[in-house]
Amino acid sequence: MREAMLGMQRSGLPPHLLFSDRDFTADDYDVLCRLDETVENRKGAAAGTIDSLPTQAVPPGGLLGAAGEKLSCAVCLEEFVEGAELRALPCLHKFHKGCIDRWLGQKACCPVCNREVKLG
């Protein structure tokens, strides 16, 4: 036991991380969520900004990438199916309208490239 303690001290890790190999509980998750809610730089886009972003329907055959692969929404990870409503951001990344609208309500940036979503 003494050797293990000395090894941990020599590891250079801060003391609060030395014994963190325990299972996390729902209470831990709740604490993290409350901490996240207090971070002040988590400001979503205005509803008018979100609504002004262009939408389009997925064309027949779906959306294909440069290599011919079917593209998917980076928020929900589901493939874009024919007829689904998409929203395009100024950076040109596309998402399911419902997915990106919820995302932008919390964070005013693209979930792929982190570019700020603003008008003008």
Q: Does residue 41 have a pLDDT over 60?
A: no
Burial (0-12, 13-18, 19+ Cβ within 10 Å), 107: middle
**Percent of the chain scored above 90 by pLDDT?**
52
For the chain, how many helices (H) and strands (E)? 5, 3
Q: Does residue 56 have a pLDDT over 90?
A: yes
Report the distance separating Cα 65 and Cα 18, nearest Å.
45
Q: Does residue 118 have a pLDDT over 90?
A: no
Task: Give the residue among 52, 32, 33 at the shortest CA–CA distance from 104.
Answer: 52
**What residue spans define the domains of the chain?**
2-38, 47-106
Question: With a threshold of 0.75, does the pTM exceed it?
Answer: no
Report the distance separating Cα 44 and Cα 104, nearest Å.
6
User: SS3 sequence, 29-60?
Assistant: HHHHHHHHHHCCCCCCCCHHHHHHCCEEECCC
Q: Does residue 50 have a pLDDT over 90?
A: yes
CATH of domain 47-106: 3.30.40.10
Note the pLDDT tens digit of each residue in 2-16. 665 555 556 565 666
